[in-house]
Amino acid sequence: MKNRVWIIVLSLSVLICAVCWLYISNLSPLSQIVGIYQNGTLVEKIDLNSVTGKREITLSGEYGKNTVLVSNGHIMMKSAECPDKLCVKHGELKNGGSPIVCLPNRIVIKFEDTSYSADAKTGALR
């Protein structure tokens, strides 16, 4: 009888923990806050999780215009007027990866709170 009570209590505890864990992990996914910087100054901070629909942000610099495309959970450089377009070729910004960088127009797009745990990364811009 005593054993049965303990089994029920333990099972309930495990169930409650599992439900809580699922609830928390669904409610607070990894931080998706991205900063767009130009010349070292913050232009805009965006929480990619709270973006609805598609949005374009245009930045101007010495080498023409850059257009940033933002949608729910995603950010990328859609177009650039500089010659090499490395920022466009970079594709989507990934947490833990290199920031999107436009060297000619001094633009950096990066996650504010990276999931990445090492102190530095070699071979990638960070």
Q: Using the rule CB under 8 A, is 83 a contact of other proteins?
A: yes
Choice between 64 and 96, CB closer to other proteins: 96
φ, ψ for residue 69 (rounded to 5)? -110, 125
Asked if residue 31 binds other proteins (CB under 8 A), the reply is: no
φ/ψ of residue 117, rounded to 5: -105, -20
Question: Which of 94, 109, 112, 113 lies at the binding interface for other proteins (CB under 8 A)?
Answer: 94
User: Applying CB under 8 A, does 119 fall inside the site for other proteins?
Assistant: yes
Q: Which of 46, 68, 70, 108 binds other proteins (CB under 8 A)?
A: 108
| Residue 103 interacting with other proteins (CB under 8 A) | yes
Rounded Cα distance, 34 and 47, in Å: 6
Decide: 31 and 20 in contact? Cβ < 8 Å.
no
Pairing state between β 41-47 and 100-102: unpaired
4 vs 119 by CB, closer to other proteins: 119
d(C-alpha 14, C-alpha 11), whole Å? 5
Q: Which residues bind other proteins (CB under 8 A)?
A: 40, 83-84, 86, 94-99, 101, 103-104, 106, 108, 116-126
